[in-house]
Amino acid sequence: MNNISIKLSTEKLSLKECYDFVDNPTCGGIDIFVGTVRNHTKGKSVKKLDFSAYGPMAVKEMQLIAEKVLEKFDVLKIAIHHAEGMLQIGDIPVIIAVSAAHRVAAFEACQFAIDTLKETVPIWKKEHFEDGEVWVNAHP
For every residue of 65-119, DSSP letters joined together read HHHHHHHHS-EEEEEEEEE-EEEETT--SEEEEEEESSHHHHHHHHHHHHHHHHH
What mean pLDDT do residues 124-135 have?
88
Residue 122: per-residue pLDDT? 94
b/e per residue 91-103 (b: at least 16 CB within 10 A): bbbbbbbbbbeee
d(CA 90, CA 93): 9
The terminus-to-terminus CA distance of the chain in angstroms comes to 34
* Residue 107 CB coordination number (10 Å): 16
Q: Is the pLDDT of residue 136 over 90?
A: no
- When pLDDT is cut at 50, 70 and 90, the band that residue 131 belongs to is confident
d(CA 99, CA 37): 25
What mean pLDDT do residues 69-81 have?
98
pTM for the structure as a whole: 0.93
Residue 133: per-residue pLDDT? 86
Residue 139: per-residue pLDDT? 54
Q: Is the pLDDT of residue 91 over 70?
A: yes
Q: What is the pLDDT of residues 8-60, one digit of tens each?
A: 999 999 999 999 999 999 999 999 999 999 999 888 899 999 999 999 999 99
d(CA 6, CA 61): 10
Q: Give the H/E segment covering residue 18.
A: helix 15-22
What mean pLDDT do residues 74-95 have?
97
Q: What is the pLDDT of residues 101-119, one digit of tens each?
A: 999 999 999 999 999 999 9
Q: What are phi and psi of 11, to 5 degrees?
A: -85, 160
Handedness of CA 36, 42, 45, 48 (dihedral sign): negative
CATH 3.40.50.720: does it fit domain 4-132? no
Residue 138: per-residue pLDDT? 57
